[in-house]
Chain A
């Protein structure tokens, strides 16, 4: 399986073909629309990541030394970005997730969605992913 950096680089390369922001956003929107719907059983209050404007649900699991994520959002752009994060981080080693810098978000021109003022749940989702992974990592040690 590819590591985090390798998957990030693939995404960055894909985005490098786009000429303008519209194409990038259309890709994110389509990615969000085509994302496998999250199992309704996982859409619990416990898995809800608070955001003022849009909300995110995040479910994490740990098996055979790997952490897996499923996520969803009520806003489609957020959902697309959430999907990209899952693509990059799900199935990786917990220590790698906990330490991931996720520079690809900036490199594909989506950094503004990580601004705390956006209150879209994305920043909190990354925090939750890392915290869960750090906890799994400490179990596995």
Chain B
């Protein structure tokens, strides 16, 4: 199938919106993606025809909602090639997934004097939960450094690993620079040292083929809303053996087998980690987004996005004073930049007036921005529905911003 971005755009109603009198150019996809009509329709259909609580009633609708909910788990499990659907826990998003692992797996695996390794490229959500864990356990947090291109220093990582290392937590693709990290190699080395690995895949599942078994990831986390699905739903994948060994994260309904005041026994996977009524509609509708991605083809999406990334990077680089932040050899979908002598807030404000949505600031990666000694960046992030014309609009917007602000 030929990839046709113009045809894909028709699937996304919001792309017709006008901002400040101009057709919206949405380049803030690393923050959240827009939703195709079939995802929106599935949400409406759920509440119009299917809504009921799951795993509870013996009535028709409850059965239907439960079946859809569990089918969705299967669809998503296949999408990332998990061994079993039970290895997928529905959570609110990547942040909750990481907190779950830090709190539950961290509780049984990390002790005084142990170490947790993260990287300098991490989002705050893959730093702070580990800091909280380390503080609670008297463990220490180690950081894999980045070079000036925004790539992880794998040699330094090797040296950080030791028998004290219990957990390694890194992202597959950096949200602020777009660096694609060599996670398979990172996982292999961690396993050699006897540590388990959590991969933050929030910026990876929508841009590249993810196979958790091929990666041999112990935990893999991602969010629905960054992959054309609804907000409030995400996935924690964990190897069955690990999930089985972990204590519950939250207590409540659905996560128990029997409750008495003397002794409560817990439900099996995945329900042990799904206390309370879950985001049923979100979970069901997320599989609609996955089906949509599969129909378009993740390789086609990746190819199109790569083309735009290269085109945008080369066009923007022609602008005098343009400074690309992060030029890793392996990059995906993100152009993070600064204009010489101009604050990123100002550039973003002018781009907004021209109808272009980008993100400006620290991108929840304050340590990384400090590493580069910059007050943040302007970040344009690409999705499957972006076009060359939109990249041209961005380039013209940046030229205009530079002219107005210099």
Give Cα A54 to B352, complex, Å.
16
Query: Is A119 in the interface zone, CB < 8 Å from B?
Result: yes
Residue pair A29, B404 in contact (C-beta under 8 Å): yes
Q: A21-B20, A29-B405 are in contact. Are A77 and B361 (CB under 8 A)?
A: no
CB proximity of A35 to chain B, nearest CB, Å: 15
For B401, the closest partner residue in chain A by CB is A25
Known contacts A22-B404, A26-B404, A75-B346: A53-B353 contact under CB 8 Å: no
A74 with B375: in contact, given A21-B353, A52-B362, A113-B349 (CB under 8 Å)?
A: yes
Confirm or deny: A78 has a beta carbon within 8 angstroms of a beta carbon on chain B. yes
| Min distance, Cβ B370 to any Cβ of chain A, angstroms | 14
Within the complex, what minimum Cβ distance (angstroms) separates B29 from chain A?
A: 17
By a CB distance below 8 angstroms, the chain B residues around A55 are 375
Chain B residues closer than 8 Å to A112, beta-carbon distance: 352
B322, CB-defined interface residue at 8 Å: no
Residues of B within 8 A of A95 (CB): none
Kindly list chain B residues whose C-beta atoms are within 8 Å of the C-beta of A77: 345-346, 349
Within 8 A of B (CB), among A106-136: 112-113, 119-120
Q: Does B344 contact A (CB under 8 A)?
A: yes
Contact with A along B372-386 (1 / 0, CB 8 A): 000110000000000
A53-B376, A113-B349 given; A76·B405 CB < 8 A: yes
Interface size grouping (class) on chain A: 10 to 19
Q: A25-B404, A29-B405 are in contact. Are A53 and B20 (CB under 8 A)?
A: no
> In the bound complex, what is the Cα–Cα distance between A123 and B361 (angstroms)?
16
Q: B360 contacts the other chain (Cβ, under 8 Å)?
A: yes
- CB of A47, distance to nearest CB on chain B (Å): 18
Indicate the size class of the contact surface on chain B: 10 to 19
B343 at the interface (CB under 8 A from A): yes
How far apart are the CA atoms of A75 and B341 in the complex, in Å? 10
- Complex CA gap A112/B346 in Å reads 13
**B345 adjacent to A25 (CB under 8 Å):** no
Q: Helix, strand, loop or mixed for chain A's interface?
A: helix
Which one of A22, A75, A119 has the greatest number of beta carbons of chain B within 10 Å?
A: A75
Residues of chain B within 8 A of A120, CB atoms compared: 345
Question: Pick the contact of A76 from B343, B361, B362 — CB < 8 Å?
Answer: B343
Cross-chain contact A78 with B345 (CB below 8 angstroms): yes
Query: How distant is B337 from chain A, measured CB to nearest CB, in Å?
Result: 15
In B319-378, which residues have CB < 8 Å from any A CB?
Answer: 342-346, 348-350, 352-353, 360-362, 375-376
Beta-carbon contact of B353 and A76 below 8 Å: no
Contact B405 A53 (CB under 8 A): no
Query: Nearest Cβ distance between residue B379 and chain A, in whole angstroms?
Result: 12
Q: A26-B404, A29-B405, A52-B362 are in contact. Are A76 and B346 (CB under 8 A)?
A: yes
**A53–B353 Cα gap in the complex (Å)?**
17
Chain B nearest CB, measured from A15 CB (Å): 15
Among A21, A22, A53, point to the contact of B345 (Cβ < 8 A). Answer: A53
The smallest C-beta distance from B5 to any residue of chain A, in angstroms, reads 28
Residues on A with beta carbons closer than 8 Å to the beta carbon of B349: 25, 77, 113
Instruction: Give the residues in chain A near B345, CB-CB below 8 Å.
Output: 53-54, 75, 77-78, 120
Most buried by A among B349, B361, B404: B349
Cα A21 to Cα B375 with chains together (Å): 26
- What's the nearest-Cβ distance from chain A to residue B152, in Å? 25
In the bound assembly, the distance between CA atoms of A69 and B149 in angstroms comes to 42
Cross-chain contact B404 with A53 (CB below 8 angstroms): no
Q: How far is the CB of B91 from chain A (nearest CB, A)?
A: 25
Closest 9 CB pairs of A and B: A75-B343, A75-B345, A53-B361, A54-B345, A53-B345, A77-B346, A75-B346, A52-B361, A77-B349
Give residues in B with beta carbon < 8 Å to A. Answer: 20, 342-346, 348-350, 352-353, 360-362, 375-376, 404-405
Known: A21-B353, A120-B345. 12 other contacts (CB 8 A): A21-B20, A25-B353, A29-B404, A53-B344, A53-B345, A53-B348, A53-B376, A54-B345, A75-B346, A76-B405, A78-B346, A112-B352
Q: List 30 A-B contacts (CB under 8 A).
A: A21-B20, A22-B353, A22-B404, A25-B350, A26-B404, A29-B346, A52-B361, A52-B362, A53-B344, A53-B345, A53-B360, A53-B361, A53-B375, A54-B343, A54-B375, A55-B375, A74-B343, A74-B375, A75-B343, A75-B344, A75-B345, A75-B346, A76-B342, A76-B343, A76-B346, A77-B345, A78-B346, A112-B352, A113-B349, A120-B345
